[in-house]
């Protein structure tokens, strides 16, 4: 009996569909259940004292446990009498074992396929991009020091000068770009983007 309780508690703790109050309430429901007669009728006030939760949270936790088929409400309480519950060991355990084995098989198959496909796709894409990059004449020229990067200050300056024909504007851009003030650098970038030279 104790083993069944631990197995069920483990399953409850791993269930993401349960709210935190349901987890605490389940622990104390298992603790309050009579091991021989299976009688379980704690009041919300008693569970509230056990769990250090308000009665509303206890009700929310019990409702969540009933929804997820961990607890069955046998007899609704009346004024002065608590509701009678039953913990669902057998059906929950059988169902969960079946569902867990199916879900595990599906997840394993899917994860194996997706992992293999993603590894193959990413390695092929990396290979293609490396080959394209290394065979690009401009990239080779930059790596070998023959040419500068497209986004270098000198090349951007040349593009601004060629596009506008205004050397004063190009000089002003270069002064902003080389400034130590961050706002000037941002302004220079905005100008170059506006002129479509960056």
Fold of 2-88: Arc Repressor Mutant, subunit A (1.10.10)
- The domain limits of the chain are 2-88, 148-194
pLDDT score of 96: 47
* Cβ count near 88 (within 10 Å): 17
pLDDT score of 98: 47
In total, the chain counts a number of residues equal to: 198
Write out residues in the chain with pLDDT < 70, as ranges.
1, 91-122
Angle, CA 72 vertex, CA 66 and CA 73 arms, to 5°: 95
Q: Identify the helix (H) or strand (E) that includes residue 72.
A: strand 71-75
Geometric angle at alpha carbon 34, from 30 and 39, rounded to 5°: 100
What does the alpha-carbon distance between residue 156 and residue 179 come to, in Å, rounded to a whole number?
16
C-alpha torsion angle, residues 150, 151, 154, 160 (rounded to 10)? 90
How far is it, in rounded angstroms, from Cα 31 to Cα 29? 5
Question: Torsions phi, psi of 71, nearest 5?
Answer: -130, 145
């Amino acid at each position: 009996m104790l083993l069944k309780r631990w197995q069920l508690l483990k399953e409850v703790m791993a269930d993401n569909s349960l709210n935190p109050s349901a987890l605490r309430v389940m622990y104390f429901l298992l603790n309050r259940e009579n091991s021989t007669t299976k009688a379980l009728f704690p009041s919300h006030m008693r569970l509230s004292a056990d769990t250090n939760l308000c009665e509303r949270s206890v009700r929310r936790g019990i409702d969540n446990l009933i929804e997820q088929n961990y607890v069955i409400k046998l007899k609704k309480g009346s004024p002065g009498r608590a509701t009678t519950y039953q913990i669902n060991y057998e059906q929950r355990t059988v169902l969960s074992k079946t569902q867990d084995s199916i879900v595990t098989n599906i997840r394993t198959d899917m994860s194996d396929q997706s992992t293999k496909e993603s590894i193959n796709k990413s390695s092929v894409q990396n290979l293609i991009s490396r080959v394209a990059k290394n065979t690009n004449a401009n990239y080779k020229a930059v790596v070998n020091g023959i040419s500068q990067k497209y986004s270098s200050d000198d090349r951007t300056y040349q593009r601004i000068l060629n596009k506008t024909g205004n050397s004063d504007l190009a000089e002003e851009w270069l002064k902003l770009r080389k400034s130590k003030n961050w706002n000037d650098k941002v302004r220079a970038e905005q100008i170059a983007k506006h002129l479509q030279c960056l």
